[in-house]
Structure 1
Amino acid sequence: EMPAFDMVRASVNLIVAGILISIGTSLKLPLSTTYVTFMVAMGTSLADRAWGRESAVYRVAGVINVIGGWFLTAFVAFIAAATAAYLISLGGILMVAILLMVVIGLMLRSSIKFQKNTKEKRKQRHIERAELITINGVIEETSDHISQVIRRVNKLYSNVVDDLSRHDLNKLKKNDKQISKLNDEVNELKDEAFYFIKSLDDSSVEASRFYLLVLGYLQDISQSISYISKASFKHVNNNHKNLKKGQVKDLKVISVELADILTDIEHIFESREFDSLNSVLSKKQHLFSHVSHSVEKQINRIRTEESSAKNSTLYFGNLLETKDLINAIMSLVELYQEFHLNMKKAKIDI
């Protein structure tokens, strides 16, 4: 049978919380039943030593958030109500009318600002081309996007691995902001795909599908690097244990190999040397094998050594997301290689 440990804790929580609420109510004390129950649960988990380094930060943060939220909202409500009452007592009906006008004005200002920002985003990259875009234009446009994204992903991934190995919270935070900016730019490109496709000439309609697929893979790439960055930042921010030396070593080896591939891809798309894409694809399986081997090594560590659950979760998550990142990059390269070969067969000068 399963141990009755959790049932004992639940019984203690129920009985102690019920007794405290009953005593407080009989003494006509102002109390919150939710808060009493919450603190009893915190107390029992502390007494049975469930507060480890991996979970203590969440428990303490929960207590502080509950208490801080109550005090902050009460203080803000008190100040706002006192200010409004004082102004009304000075000005009477006239002040009530003024306050209503201020509220209406703020609501209108917020609405106008929102509509203005929406229009600016739509116009920001609106079609500014005087001529219709040809297939060559699509290739130039997508090549520029790919080289820029790959260059930034190369730097960002290396930074995440280095900063995580050093447990550098500030640099991880800065890196996460840069990745969020990259995500926004890629999403913006996808939002404006309609205008780009509409600007294609009649002979380039087939290129629209290609353009959408490229943007889809770029979005997958940015989402993968975003997941890795956010998971690493959250791990360090919550003061969890550092990665072990073996884990850091494996991640850095993968980072170096991935950086070599990304550098080659960036060069190919900047110089438009698409015939060299096959050399990049030939490195795919070796990198996949290295990631899979790192996963197996971590499984063995868990079985033979003392391992932290949060540490292992982060490590497995980053490895698997790295595999998804590599897959998205290679799928993008394969797509471009196929498109390039089709264009050569059709005798189109790329």
Structure 2
Amino acid sequence: METFYLFLVVFLFILAVFDLSVGVSNDAVNFLNSAIGSKAASFKTIMVIAAIGIFVGASLSNGMMDVARHGIYQPQHFYFSEIMSILLAVMLTDVVLLDIFNSLGMPTSTTVSLVFELLGGTVAIAMMKIINSDGVLQLGDLLNTDKAFTVILAIFVSVAIAFFFGTLVQYIARLMFTFNYKKQMKYFAAIFGGIAATAIVYFMLIKGLKESSFMDGDVKNMVYSNTATIVWICFVVFTILMQILHWLKVNVFKVVVLMGTFSLALAFAGNDLVNFIGVPLVGYSSYMDYVAQGGTTTTDTFLMSSLLEPAQTPIYFLIGAGMVMVIALATSKKAHNVVKTSLDLSRQAEGDENFGTSPVARVLVRTCSNIASTIDSITPLSVKNWIDSRFNKNEMILEDRASFDLVRASVNVVLSGLLIALGTSLKLPLSTTYVAFMVAMGSSLADRAWGRESAVFRITGVLSVIGGWFITAGAAFTICFVVALMIYFGGIPAMVCMVGLAVYSLVRSQIAYKKKMRKQALKEEVNSTVAKLRKSTDAREALALFREHSREEVQTDLTFTAGMLSQAIYGFMNENLRDLKKTLAAVAEKKVHLKQVKRVGTLGVTQLEHDIAVEKGLYYYQCNDFASEIIFSIHRLTEPLKDHIDNNFPPLGAIQKEEFGAVTKKVIDFENRCALMVEKNDYTDMEALVAESVSLHNQLTALKKGELKRIQGQSGSTKVSMLYLNMVQEVQNVVAFTGNLIKVSRKFQKE
């Protein structure tokens, strides 16, 4: 049994590696959002700074492991086997739950996850102990609910405070600096930089390093007894330094953003490390305590009173955790996905919205619009004109492909750090994730980034994220409760099953995430074209870019058509249900992509000269419409085929397979040759291909006539015949629309 628990401890550490990876992926939004969103430096530089902050924070932390040791349960009443059951349930739940949120791109709190998982697992085991003790033990003897209530309070406090102050401070900052902030820097750069840098240092001392290994005894007393003096000295020194940097033509805002990124990363690693390795370390400590007693008791009789003692975390565990977190930050695509959700909700420009609308969001938008109209009606005209002049977006200084400017990025990092530090010093449990996210949302609202076209989508997104935070608490408690009970009753077999289920869940999540990333890649491709067209100031250059984009899209659409026809038709003939499902999934993605491509047309037309815009814009839209019709035809072809195979209906007859298979090969070859012609932008074979499309159309008509004769002769299945006629008709539509597509494409590409 001792050997089994040794393997269990090792497995907990393996899970901790995964937990560190998914935890960093989720919490990366806290410290990467502002720097990446404003393009304060190259992506590599930002990641290096964040990585250094994470490693330093993890290495200097003493882990605050007491939360996992005795923050939720009263360990003196639990046996070793019961504690290990709780810890395994917590780790299995945590890894899977955080991975789900990362795959969805939704930031959530790792602290909330840990606390409510511990609470759920403890309640499950405590219930069993109370039942078996015949009333000797009560829930209050086994459980400490204060921490859970503290976290619930943190949700409300963090959301409200961060959003309010994010809106207020950003509004004041924009009035000071305007969107053309470089004009105002000679007046405010030094003082703003001094305040910002001082706030960041204060944040690191009060929050980021307050539990660090070197902040003990005399050092800690010196820092806390002389906090005011340290703050004033920092303010003077940093103000002078920022003025010198400004004279040296260094952008003070970039310095502030990168300093803030480092401090937030350091605080994250220093304070949240317990969320990832606290549970395995408790398991390790419990196992060592059990082994040390020399076999005098069993796993079911050894009480864990030793967990009441303060945690002593070995330095090599902290350094190892820091290295894993740095590697995860550098390699995790899901971290970028979570950051992207926050950036999409706070970006200055309009664009595709990732969230839909909701009744609550619509009511909020109407209510706020009415309030704004009322305030606007009583505000003097001169004041309104002055405020509007400070919010003139035509003068905006924005880095290439940035979501917002450096002023807002600076406010985000400084205010997030300052609020967290103040909350810590006042004993208010502000959540790092909640503060960082809601400050970003408040500052984007104050910056007028939520226009009438996007406000309802952005608010829906924010409400979805906030709702996810509450779901985290409920899901963490419920899932861990159930898992702990299953382990309690099922013993070792249940543990093995739970481990296998967790591994399966992670693998399946990764597969689903890769599919999602393929969709994202298509979207990024469109956004890249949008960025190029926006930067273009020459109408001829814009037309060339427009043509190149259209050419690539048409060629891709035709190649896609050939591949999907082959996969659908031959998948049906071979009764391969999986191929048909894959075709339908790919077609659904393509439909979304074509809608996004049409948006590029609107932007492209605005960049062209008036006379050319009317003609070429019409051809571009026609290309998109014909491509869409082709995709819809493939969908109408594939869906009945999938249902036919799924219901195990009779297959096509030998004659039907032979005749239709021969024409299908010709159609697929036709689609590929059309794609090659468009790719080369050489339409010399155009007439031959148009003639071939007419020939294929006639051959398919002949197939329909032949099938109708077979129906009249009452040979074969009526259901199969109806399906066959639909196949022929939809392929005939594909051929016809392809002919129209290449004709219009030639007109669009023609000088």
TM bracket (short chain): 0.5 to 0.7
Number of the residue aligned with 1:242: 651
1:299 aligns with 2:708: yes
| Larger RCO of the pair (alpha carbons < 8 Å, separation 6+) | 2
Q: Letter of the 1:230 partner, please give it.
A: E
Do structure 1's residue 144 and structure 2's residue 515 form an aligned pair?
A: no
State whether residues 637 and 727 of structure 2, in contact with CA within 8 Å, keep that contact through their aligned partners in structure 1. yes
In structure 1, the residue matched to 2:586 is 178
Match of 1:64 in 2: none
Aligned 8 A contact 2:619 2:747 in 1: no
Q: CA contact under 8 A between 1:161 and 1:251: conserved in structure 2?
A: no
Partner of 2:740: 331
Give the aligned residue type for 1:167.
E
Instruction: After TM superposition, list the pairs within 5 Å mapping 1:162-311 onto structure 2.
Output: 162-202=570-610, 204-205=612-613, 206-311=615-720
Maintained 8 Å contact 2:546/2:604 = no
1:79-101 deviations in whole A, cap 9, x for unaligned?
A: xxxx9xx99x999xxx99x9999
Unaligned runs of 5+ in 2: 1-119, 125-138, 164-340, 347-351, 355-519
Q: Is the 8 A contact 2:711 2:718 kept in 1?
A: no
Shift of 1:222: 1.2
Partner of 1:26: none
**Residue of structure 1 equivalent to 2:353:** 118
Once residues 658 and 740 of structure 2 are traced to their aligned partners in structure 1, the CA distance between those partners, rounded to angstroms, is 27
SS in 2 for 1:167: coil
The AA in structure 2 aligned to 1:157 is: L
Cα deviation, 1:132-170, whole Å, max 9, x if unaligned, reads 453443332221111111111111101111111011111
What amino acid sits opposite 2:532 in the alignment? E
1:339, distance to aligned residue in structure 2 (A): 5.0
TM-score normalised over the length of structure 1: 0.62
Q: CA deviation at 1:258?
A: 0.8
Distance 2:558 2:153 in 1: 53
AA aligned opposite 2:559 = R
State the superposition RMSD in angstroms.
3.9
Secondary structure class of the residue paired with 1:128? helix
Q: Give the letter for the 1:252 counterpart.
A: G
Return closer, same or farther for 1:133/1:294 CA change in 2, 3 Å cut-off: farther
Q: 1:133 to 1:323 in 2, by over 3 A?
A: farther
What amino acid is the match of 1:145? E
The 2-side partners of 1:169 and 1:155 are apart by: 16
2:596 partner amino acid: E
| TM-score normalised to structure 2 length | 0.31
Question: Match of 2:554, as an amino acid?
Answer: I
Asked if structure 2 preserves the Cα contact closer than 8 Å seen for 1:151 and 1:266, the reply is: yes
Query: Paired residue for 1:72?
Result: none
Cα distance in structure 1, aligned partners of 2:656 and 2:649: 15
C-alpha separation in 1, matches of 2:671 and 2:688: 12
Aligned ranges 1:48-67 → 2 under 5 Å: none
1:69 paired residue number:
none
Query: Structure 2 CA distance, aligned partners of 1:160 and 1:187?
Result: 23
Q: Which has the larger radius of gyration?
A: 2
Query: What is the CA–CA distance in structure 2 between the aligned matches of 1:225 and 1:215, rounded to whole Å?
Result: 15
Q: Which residue in 1 is equivalent to 2:326?
A: none
Q: Tell me the secondary structure at the aligned position of residue 192 of structure 1.
A: helix
Mapping of 1:33-48 within 5 angstroms? Answer: none
Structure 2 distance, partners of 1:281, 1:101, is 67
| Identical-pair percentage | 14
CA distance in 1, matches of 2:704, 2:345: 48
Asked if 1 retains the 8 angstrom alpha-carbon contact of 2:562 and 2:668, the reply is: yes
Deviation at 1:182, TM superposition (A): 2.0
**Matches of 1:138 and 1:191 in 2, distance apart?**
12
Tell me if 1:127 matches 2:531: yes
> Is the contact between residue 633 and residue 734 of structure 2 (CA under 8 Å) also seen in structure 1?
yes
Aligned mates of 2:597, 2:747 — CA distance in 1: 23
